[in-house]
Structure 1
Amino acid sequence: MLVAAAVCPHPPLIVPELAAGAAGELDALRAACDAAVADLLAARPDRVVAVGTGPETAEFPKGGAGSFSPYGVNLSVRLGAGGGDIEERLPLSLTIAAWLLGRTPVDVPVSGLAVAHDADAVDCLASGAELVSGDERVALLVMGDGTACRTEKAPGYLDARAEPYDAAAALALANADVLALAALDPRLSEELGVSGRAAWQLLAGAADGADLTGRLTYDEAPYGVGYFVAVWS
């Protein structure tokens, strides 16, 4: 059963070593993510599952590992305990999740689930429901950015549809509104460069019937990309 969820974005610049001189620009986001993870663990889950989008759907039952070397920094992270050598296997979303979880002591098993960015909404909802179907107390760390089209300097340039999309997503996350998240349009999400759609819809499937209350703690677009932090408990 789902006992809590934290929603965070995954910009590489949230990692100070990658941001270098610009690290201070995301101090507020970093603090909000740290607080969300702390709230997640305060629910005393039996297991934490990090969920994020990737090129394809893949499970990381022993955690898995990722590297920031593609971004010019020799820094590796591991998502929970796992054996073997550090390898660059996790997609960016779960690599950032591993980095966030590494900033807080975690004494329960951690695993990861990457969801294909173009996964069908119905499949996402079903996967979420299946993920929390047992008696185990599960907490989800859900990674995903909003639109990438909020300003002319944004990765996807300025699109008038971006701001209302992000406003609707932020409201859904604030209210733990599973129906609103389930209704997000995959095609529009793709056109607006939304990386969080599939992961948010998996959360909607997991939270359906869980009677969780939402709280939005961050809602900004510092680089023309919508970043949200929310806690469901």
Structure 2
Amino acid sequence: MRDLIVQWLTEITAPYWKSSLSIDQFVTALQETMHMVFFALLFGCIWGFIQAIILLVTRPEGILPNRVIYHGLNPIVNALRSLPFIILLIAFIPLTKLLVGTSIGTWAAIVPLTIYIGPYMGRLIETSLLEVNEGIIESAQAMGASPMQIIFRFILPEARSSLILNLTTATISLIGATAMAGAVGAGGIGDLAISYGYQRFDTSVVILTVIVLLLLVQFVQTFGEWLSRLR
């Protein structure tokens, strides 16, 4: 299937595409970008939901207040969120090598991408959950619902639309971070922009990269808005 797509794109763009970059290289880079976004988003979602739920229930006015857990986790999340992604790429190289055996390539980039997006998603998810009307929580408690039932049967369903929109925002930020990861040899669209567009002064590659990223972001935003409106 991939070879057919590459052949089809090559035939279509052959009269117009004069760059040293081949269509096969471009498709490979696009696959690498999607690979990084998918797995970093998956791991980041798991981390973000766990973090958000813990902060939600343990906050002073939460359903299971715990000052030790809340005031211990909260500054850690703030600290990770305050670090620029390019710093995370460098700072977590030892951890990346320990987990995946290398600091270069797509899988190596997924580690700092997850560390970058996890706390960010956690804050967005926490914000969505805090928007749920307190009356719903009080009604659930009055009916004798357990903390787990309150979270999964009342809070999360009520926050669904806001969650989808916030996760859409996080996904767009993640796409931008994957492009930045190309600066350290992570592969993907960003790597093409640097190695072909910048280092080889190939303006057409830079333009192509920008157009692809714009289309990808527009698709994610449109799909997220459509999904949030579903009932």
TM-score by length of 2: 0.22
Larger % of helix: which? 2
Of structures 1 and 2, the larger Rg is shown by 2
Larger % of strand: which? 1
